[in-house]
Amino acid sequence: MLLAALVVAVVLARAGGRASPAVPAEAAAARPAEPSSRTALERPPAAPAAARGSYRGRVPILMYHVITAPPPGTAYPELWTSKERFAATMRLLAKAGYRGVTLAQVRAAWTGGPGLPAKPVVVSFDDGYLSQYTHAKPVLRRLGWPGVLYLEGKNLGTGGLTVRQVRGMIDAGWELGAHSLTHPDLTTLDTAGLRREVAGSRALLRRRFGVPVESFCYPAGRNDATVRAAVRDAGYDDATTVEPGIAGPTDDRLSLPRIRVDAATTPGTVLRMVRDGSGPSGGYG
């Protein structure tokens, strides 16, 4: 009973019967006071962590959700990864020679800009959960790695991440991407609704944080030609899916594959997947 009282079990309906995981217990903890709002013109983009090299080839993109152990009875516990397992996985990747980079750095390398380290990996996080700030950010900071945060508009604030926390992640070199406003199945929306979810989420994040928002993540991976056109028209440079594979410079930039990491995925399995591009197909985003 005590454990249940500590867990904020907010399960939001997703497209096709999917749901996002319950908000971690840490969401109930006291939050720091919000700073006064700043406009985009008052805040220049933060530079990502340096990651230089001559590599311009394929790059694995990992997909995480909640970074804490799931309480008993949690909906979709496969979307939760304990902070201990996450830390062990990142350490193993670093020991194997991998180096964390942002998608912005990958895009630059693929288009004639600065190259990447010999073994780059993108560590991306969907939705915007408090544990991504409290648990994932310190692990990546110790390694000198950035992350990529795909933030839902509705997860900015109560039950998700505060403006201050997101700014702290940006200041640590993280890239901010959009994940729609409310996580609908985009393929079911009319023209106005699709524009609102896709272009509106980019406009919201750019306005609140004053940084480029060049990458989009399809909610639950659901997309079609109409959705991809809306993403392109909104000004995004790329978009990620939930299908496995290692992203490459000749891929469709609006259908980049990712490698989903589930609760039961061991560090050794993650290392194998970033090498061969394997992983579960479909699922959540």
**pLDDT given for residue 279 in this prediction:** 87
Q: For 32-63, what is each residue's pLDDT tens digit?
A: 333 333 333 334 444 445 668 999 999 999 99
Neighbours of 283 (CB within 10 A): 19
pTM of the model: 0.84
Q: First-to-last CA distance in the chain?
A: 31
Q: How many whole angstroms separate alpha carbon 57 and alpha carbon 248?
A: 6
CA 129 to chain centre: 10
Q: Find the radius of gyration of the CA atoms of the chain.
A: 18
Q: In order of start, what are the domains of the chain with their CATH numbers?
A: 52-276 (3.20.20.370)
Q: How many whole angstroms separate alpha carbon 246 and alpha carbon 14?
A: 26
CA 131 to chain centre: 13
- Give residue 7's pLDDT band: very low, low, confident or very high (50, 70, 90): very low
Task: Give, in order, the Cα–Cα distances in Å from 261 to each of 36, 125, 176.
Answer: 36, 10, 20
Q: For 219-242, what is each residue's pLDDT tens digit?
A: 999 999 999 999 999 999 999 999
Q: For 57-108, what is each residue's pLDDT tens digit?
A: 999 999 999 999 999 998 889 999 999 999 999 999 999 999 999 999 999 9
Evaluate whether 220 touches 179 at the Cβ level (below 8 Å): no
Q: Which residue has the tokens 């490698």?
A: 259
